[in-house]
Chain A
Amino acid sequence: MRHIMAKQQQTLLERRYSMLGLFLIAPTVLVFCAVIVYPLISAVYLSLFKIFTPTLEGSWVGLDNYRVLLSKGEFWTSLRANLIWTVGTLSLQIIFGVGMALVLHQNIWFRSLARSLILFPYFISTVVAVLVWKWLFNDLYGILNHLMITAGLIDWPIDYLGSMPNAMISVILVGAWKYFPFVVIAVLARLQSIPDQLYEAAKIDGAGPIARFFDITLPQLREVLVVIIMLRAIWDFKEFDLIFLLTGGGPVTSTQTLPLLVYKEAFALNQMGMASAYAVIMMLIMLGFMLVYIRRTRSEES
């Protein structure tokens, strides 16, 4: 009882500080409400309407959009494409990323130059990445086909983006190329923080390089890998630019992931309400992952 009473007493100073804190966070809160919270709520609201994009005239249809969407094959094929893309590109990012980090952790020649070169793809615009890769993939003059034919790997130029499963594989590969540097830097930072004594102790205990990798390096990386995988899974799942620019979802709809479907519904088929329903469903699918990630970060902080 006394504690509850005590809690209520706030000094003037404490109150003044709280006011100042609220004043400083006010711009953030205002902007958040205007450009994030309000749109987020409207997205859900819009999904209950049938809206024709050019005129923006709408009529209430309730949950009809959702009913239609879940029974339409296109949603499920897009979800499937989305999962294939996410799992495919994420696995490659992790494998190459960890591998490259281990290589860069060694004392190789011109290490910082190598690190810059590896890091670069992550920071260039997706537009640049796509233009370059389209040029590499070009069926007539592309260097990739030329090199593969010269090396005797193929007899005839490959259509990298216009046929299946090539298109999906190409998209996954370009995605891996663009985003694996994130994994490299994150893992490299962690590797550099593993104390040398651990390796020395293991050496004294008679562990060879392979045993040291599995007994020390990998367990030490586990934590950071979990975080990286969750973060990249979320980001890859919602990727729009790369796929849209490389294939536009084609051939037909074979690489059309959910974000592309939302865009198509809204601006090609002019069904704004339907598109919102797709967006909301997509967010719900991601929500699970996001909540797991958030909970993890928060428990780490406290």
Chain B
Amino acid sequence: MADVVLSNVNKVFGTFTAVDGLNLDIRQGEFVSLLGPSGCGKTTTLRMLAGLEFPSGGEIRIGDRMVNDLAPGQRDIAMVFQSYALYPHMSVGQNIAYPLKKRGVAKAERTAMVAKTAEMLQLTPLLNRKPRELSGGQQQRVALGRALVRDPKVFLLDEPLSNLDAKLRGYMRAELIELHQRLGRTMVYVTHDQLEAMTMSDRIAVMESGKLQQFAPPQVVYREPANRFVASFIGTPGMNIVDGELLQENGRWIFQSQGFSVDAPNLGPDAQSGAAAMGIRPEGLSIGTGPIEGVVQLVEQTGHENIVVARVGDGLRMTGRTNPDQPVRAGETIKLSIDANKAHFFAEGATGKRLNKAAATSDGPAKSQSALKEATS
């Protein structure tokens, strides 16, 4: 059952189109991330959901209601802001109680609900403090508490972790996942951090220039990026993308670039001869043997693996991963090979469509999620 639906939503600021024909169907209880670089329209989208920004066109539905004309307070949502937006002149307790007060919850009941929420977030000893007396992590929990206290239909979270330090961020990520599982509420989470999106989401909506690029579970976004933008945006280190040409030779597709060519075995029906691009993730590149020759420019040691950046031909940089035991040094000439089955092919342009055959993976909320989450976090 769909819980939050955006149909053909636009947002125009003057001459600038922030959101362009956006369609999203978010299921009840789903955790969805809006992911993209800054200025891609993700925050504007969230603010339109909240009723803080007004769509220039299209329809927004929450539950069974069209909410375009409803004030934020009538939409049964809660929002956590990047800046936390705690009311500085109110104590922690008053901050958490405020949404209840505005809904006319009686005082005694209010106190009880605040106490319960504070308990859950370990804020009880801080209830009488003012926000400025709290640490960043505590402020963040108060912001969360203010959202949780009234059990809304949908939670909207606008980069809530971006002001925390790295260690706390990892901890809060786990907390949020756990919270989502416990509450079972729909959550829409805006972030520019793909690690957050990958680890927490049921589905990720990748946005760029106001347009939706792909809306799929994390491993689909990773394994079958819809286009070149998604492919290059997701993954660290990023996918190697090489411009070149697709040719047909004896009924076989071949991708040819400066100095090397690769078989393109699994192209779909959309493939055409001509300019195209090939993408290969660092793990699809094996170092040691192969037809391609490169000069190592940089070796980054992360501990459990080494990341090798090599120059191939003139100026093309390829990134691969190696086992730390495999000795590779900067300046060395190495051989590379591309695993053709792991290669992606894209049509021309920054958001060129992926040309590979669709894989058999389903698009549903994958339960293999947890495995991936553990692997990445």
Contact = CB atoms under 8 A, between A and B. Distances in A.
- Direct contact between A and B in the complex (CB less than 8 angstroms)? yes
Contact of A13 (B10, B12, B69): B69
A29 B51 CA distance: 29
A6 B12 contact: yes
A12 B55 CA distance: 11
A150 interface: no
B57 A6 contact: yes
Interface size class on chain A is: 10 to 19
B54 A11 contact: yes
A196 B12 CA distance: 42
A71 interface: no
Interface residues of B, number: 12
Contacts of B57: 5-6, 9
Interface of A: 2-3, 5-7, 9-14
Contacts of A11: 54-55, 68-69
B56 A7 contact: yes
B177 interface: no
A12 B56 contact: no
A6 B10 contact: yes
Mostly, the B contact residues are loop
Interface string B291-304: 00000000000000
A2, A5, A6, A12: which has the most chain B beta carbons within 10 Å?
A6
Given A6-B56, A9-B56, 16 more contacts: A5-B57, A6-B10, A6-B12, A6-B57, A7-B56, A9-B55, A9-B57, A10-B54, A11-B55, A11-B68, A11-B69, A12-B68, A12-B69, A13-B54, A13-B69, A13-B70
Contacts of B69: 11-13
B17 interface: yes
A7 B71 contact: no
Contacts of B12: 3, 6-7
A7 B68 CA distance: 15
A28 to B, nearest CB: 25
Contacts of B54: 10-11, 13-14
A7 B55 CA distance: 9
Nearest to A3: B12
24 contacts: A2-B10, A3-B12, A3-B17, A5-B57, A6-B10, A6-B12, A6-B56, A7-B12, A7-B56, A9-B55, A9-B56, A9-B57, A10-B54, A11-B54, A11-B55, A11-B69, A12-B69, A13-B51, A13-B54, A13-B68, A13-B69, A13-B70, A13-B71, A14-B54
A11 B52 CA distance: 12
A14 B54 CA distance: 7
A10 B56 CA distance: 7
Contacts of A7: 12, 56
